[in-house]
Amino acid sequence: GSRSRRSAEPSLAGSPAGVRSSEPAREGRSSARSAAPCAYDPFVSAALAAFLRTAGIRDERVLAAVAQLPRDRFVPDALRGEAEADRPLPIGCGQTISQPYVAAYMTERLRLAGVERVLEIGTGSGYQTALLALLAEEVFSIEIVRELAERAREILLGRLGLANVRLRIGDGALGWPEE
């Protein structure tokens, strides 16, 4: 269909001035590095995308999605200053948000053309879901932890207005049979 993937621009977030490294650079994968309102600084996510390009991510659509997505929306307030770091961060309930390189690498490997319907098992923070939503026709995401699912729903459908995301609380082992 021709429906819009985004019904609203991100209106909240951003504080780090650039990409930070949490570990020494390695060949092929050098390192770089939610609810309180503040101004979203698009240069922060653009710096993260630029880092990912130097780290080996080549898909321009993936890099553009990273550049427009405020990762700090998906982490607890206390960790917002570390949101652009290239490392996983705790999001509560014993779970983490994947490091940006891993999220971009996994997304790049899907080779999405924009017409796909994607099933994601484990919504978590919703960051990977949002990346997928910017690149695919429709995303169906299942999260078993109610607290995480509710937080992700608020971010994805509320704050970011991603109209092509469908969320469900449940066991992902069962898939989404009706879709």
**Tens of pLDDT, residues 81-114:** 999 899 999 999 999 999 999 999 999 999 999 9
**Average pLDDT score over residue span 148-159:** 96
This prediction's pTM: 0.76
* Contact indicator for 128, 112 with CB cutoff of 8 Å: no
Q: What is the pLDDT of residues 110-120, one digit of tens each?
A: 999 999 999 99
Q: Quote the distance between the C-alpha of residue 170 and its chain's center.
A: 20
Q: How confident is the model at residue 10 (pLDDT cuts 50, 70, 90)?
A: very low
* Contact indicator for 55, 32 with CB cutoff of 8 Å: yes
Q: Percentage of the chain with pLDDT > 70?
A: 76
**C-alpha distances in Å from residue 166, one per residue of 3, 92, 133, 156:** 14, 22, 10, 10
Single out the residue of 69, 57, 150 nearest to residue 109, CA to CA.
Answer: 57
* Contact indicator for 124, 143 with CB cutoff of 8 Å: yes
- List residues with catalytic annotation: 98
